[in-house]
Amino acid sequence: MEKKKEGHFVLVHGACHGAWCWYKVIAQLKSMGHKVTALDMAGSGVHPKQVHEIHSFSDYFEPLMTFMASLKPEEKVILVGHSFGGYSIATAMERFHEQVAVAVFATAFMPSPNLPYLTLSQQFDETMDSDKTMDTEYVFPNGTDKPPTSGLLGPNFMATKLYQLSPPEARDLALALTLVRHVGLFHDEESIKAVAVTNEKYGSVHRVFFVCCKDYVIKEEYQRWMIKNNPPDEVKSISDSDHMVMFSNPIDLCSCLQEIADKYT
């Protein structure tokens, strides 16, 4: 029987979350023989910075970029970005393309040179429900006539849109321990430029998209729209998963990640 390949997975969380949300996936991937690194982006999880100290995407992504820069020249990793983490891993692919064996976008924003941040954001807004973000909190230090500078997912929004198929204790853990934190919302030119990608670098890395079919935030129609307009090398569907695939269906998620390791490492 052929031995399953072992890879080094680098797991990147979505908005307001942190490395903590991968705990089930980390345990399972390690039991399968893989090396796993889960990172907190700046101001997320247990990262010491506060949201008001993070002024741009470059600040927010800094922990991932520092980690990528620390890799040995011959070392390659499998990047996995969830949700907003798609922008994090896309930036890492652009800057460190030679050290990424493959990148996995798990119901994540997947930019391209033709689908930049502003285009993805506009299309995403058009797919949201009429109640938008429900009880999500926003901070307007420059006045309500200016864009908010940060947001915090609301408990009702999380329960009905993100975690509706996940074990209740997963959501309760996040809320009881205040593991969900404000995330910066960046509209400045520097930030938009920081998440721009090119065909030469980002485009040279293998990409796989994991569709979560019962995601009520980044809806399946939006996921398929990104795939159609920016085709990855592969698409895998996880049928019984809400937005928080690492909680609602960690077994299928890890099975798909093993297939990726077997093929691309």
Q: Which residues are catalytic?
A: 83, 215, 243
Residue 156 backbone dihedrals phi, psi, to 5 degrees: -70, -40
**b/e 140-151 (16+ beta carbons within 10 angstroms → b):** eeeeeeeebbbb
**Among 208, 223, 213, CA closest to 260:** 208
Helices 23-31, 250-264: axis angle to 10 degrees equals: 50
Q: CA-CA distance, 222 to 143, in Å (whole number)?
A: 31
Core vs surface per residue 17-28: b (16+ CB within 10 A) or e: bbbbbbebbbeb
- Judge whether 79 and 108 are in contact, CB under 8 Å: no
Helix or strand or coil: residue 80?
Answer: strand
